[in-house]
């Protein structure tokens, strides 16, 4: 078997997480293309890692795979480079700031990549997908997904206002940065076909992007969906409710648990309690990527659909009307 040689482009906090995940699954031949603005090169995590500061040298290292974890606005440049090199690429979500940027890529280019929606690999959402696909609770009528946490708490050692999440020029904003819920809504329930959105800057945070988003949507299966995202919750909140024609399923990400209340029993029953450690989702994600297994990975075509939803949410908020996705 060909030795896996992984080039990581961008070594901020998520890049370091990917390095740890790669090492935990036994991948040791790793190089990093760094801008010099991320973590200190003396960090022990860079032991035995080849460091490059210009891409021509990095690309002559002959990587077999590329991981792209730069700010959103820089993703596509590296995607194009990976395609030219003819190697599989893993790119952090969202793949770009505007879905129109993807239209210039041909189908072969799209097939080489997967997008880093790590929650698809988390045992809670793997179990949710299994429950939904089994049909055991009947037809889904509606779903509500929410996520929120206070942006300055994300990386307290850094000035939050300088990070990409806070900056429009780097592709930040809650709609894109916390787009996991948009991806999960489509991964679990089917493609969204209509949206009405309200995108707001509500707080005094020193950012030039939105900090709160409300989305009301319908999908191809006539499921009514609500999604709420924000940078404002003092404690991380991520969860949701799924209304079936037989009862209500609730999931809590922080508690790694799922419960169900039927119309018959009218009593909430615990149906799942997870135990995996948090980093396992990243390890599974990296293991499947380097071994060429698609699994539950978000394909670039699926990401195009996510980006289309984001585009129409912005248009809906600007115009104040519901829009159908074309």
Cα angle 120, 258, 140 (rounded to 5 degrees) comes to 75
Question: Which pLDDT score is estimated for 1?
Answer: 46
Q: In sequence order, which residues have a C-beta less than 8 Å from that of residue 301 and are 6 or more positions away?
A: 110
Each residue's pLDDT tens digit, 34-50? 876 655 555 677 778 89
- Reading the block at residue 247, the tokens are 């009862």
Residue 257 within any structural domain of the chain? no
Question: Which pLDDT score is estimated for 42?
Answer: 59
Domain identity same for 113 and 233: no
Question: Which pLDDT score is estimated for 40?
Answer: 58
Long-range pairs, 289-296, Cβ under 8 A, ≥24: 289/65, 289/67, 289/88, 289/90, 289/114, 290/4, 290/6, 290/22, 290/25, 290/27, 290/65, 292/88, 294/114, 295/121, 296/120, 296/121, 296/126, 296/129, 296/187
Question: Which pLDDT score is estimated for 156?
Answer: 92
Q: Look at the chain and report how many structural domains it folds into.
A: 2
Q: Pick from 94, 119, 324, 98: which is nearest to 217 by CA? A: 324
Each residue's pLDDT tens digit, 253-283? 999 999 999 999 999 999 999 999 999 999 9
Name residue 12's beta-bridge partners. none
Are 18 and 69 in contact, with CB atoms under 8 Å apart?
yes
Of 118, 150, 180, the residue at which a domain comes to its end is 118
Of 83, 118, 153, the residue at which a domain comes to its end is 118
Domain identity same for 164 and 311: yes
Domain identity same for 143 and 83: no
The CB-side HSE value for 167 (13 A sphere, CA atoms) comes to 12
Q: Pick from 175, 213, 181: which is nearest to 72 by CA? A: 175
Q: Pick from 166, 152, 170, 168: which is nearest to 232 by CA? A: 152
Q: Which regions in the chain score pLDDT beneath 70?
A: 1-2, 36-43, 108
Question: Which pLDDT score is estimated for 41?
Answer: 59
User: Sign of torsion, CA 277 279 280 281?
Assistant: positive
Are 143 and 189 in contact, with CB atoms under 8 Å apart?
yes
Report the C-alpha gap between 38 and 28 in whole angstroms: 21
Residue 150, domain CATH: 3.30.360.10
Of 118, 137, 157, the residue at which a domain comes to its end is 118
Question: Which pLDDT score is estimated for 110?
Answer: 75
Asked if residue 94 has a cis previous peptide bond (ω within 30° of 0), the answer is: yes
Burial label for 291, CB within 10 Å (0-12, 13-18, 19+), is: exposed
Q: Which domain holds residue 41?
A: 6-118
Domain identity same for 139 and 223: yes
Report the C-alpha gap between 50 and 214 in whole angstroms: 44
Residue 25, domain CATH: 3.40.50.720
Domain identity same for 183 and 110: no
Residue 29 within any structural domain of the chain? yes
Q: Where are the alpha helices (DSSP H) in 39-105?
A: 55-59, 75-85
Q: Pick from 240, 212, 285, 318: which is nearest to 65 by CA? A: 285
- Reading the block at residue 20, the tokens are 């740890």
Domain identity same for 111 and 230: no
Domain identity same for 75 and 49: yes
Domain identity same for 210 and 319: yes
Are 247 and 259 in contact, with CB atoms under 8 Å apart?
no
Kindly report the average pLDDT of the chain as a whole number.
Answer: 93
Residue 229 within any structural domain of the chain? yes
Domain identity same for 127 and 162: yes
């Amino acid at each position: 078997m060909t030795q896996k040689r992984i080039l990581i482009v961008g070594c901020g906090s998520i890049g370091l997480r990917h390095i740890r995940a790669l090492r935990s699954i036994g991948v040791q031949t790793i190089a990093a293309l760094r801008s010099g603005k991320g973590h200190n090169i003396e960090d022990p995590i860079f032991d035995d890692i080849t460091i490059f500061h210009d891409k021509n040298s990095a690309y002559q290292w002959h990587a077999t795979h590329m991981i792209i974890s730069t700010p959103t606005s820089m993703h596509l440049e590296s995607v194009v480079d990976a395609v030219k090199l003819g190697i599989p690429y893993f790119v952090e979500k969202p793949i770009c700031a505007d879905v129109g940027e993807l239209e210039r890529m041909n189908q072969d280019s799209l097939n080489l990549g997967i997008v880093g929606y790590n929650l698809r690999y988390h045992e809670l959402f793997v179990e949710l997908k299994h429950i939904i696909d089994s049909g055991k609770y009947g037809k889904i009528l509606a779903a509500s997904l929410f996520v929120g946490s206070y942006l300055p708490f994300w990386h307290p050692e850094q000035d939050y206002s300088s990070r990409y999440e806070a900056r429009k020029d780097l592709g930040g904003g809650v709609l894109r940065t916390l787009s996991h819920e948009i991806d999960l809504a489509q991964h679990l329930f089917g493609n969204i076909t209509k949206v009405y959105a309200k995108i707001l800057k509500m707080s005094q945070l020193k950012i030039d992007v939105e900090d709160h988003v409300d989305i009301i949507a319908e999908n191809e299966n006539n499921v009514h969906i609500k999604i709420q995202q924000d940078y404002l919750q003092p404690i991380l909140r991520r969860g949701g409710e799924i209304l079936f024609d037989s009862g209500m399923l609730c999931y809590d990400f922080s508690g790694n648990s799922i419960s169900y209340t039927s119309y018959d029993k009218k009593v909430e029953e615990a149906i799942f309690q997870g135990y995996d450690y948090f980093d396992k989702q990243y390890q599974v994600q990296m293991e499947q990527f380097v071994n060429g297994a698609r699994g539950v990975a978000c394909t670039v075509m699926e990401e195009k659909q996510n980006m289309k939803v984001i585009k129409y949410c912005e248009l809906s908020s600007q115009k104040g009307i519901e829009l159908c996705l074309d």
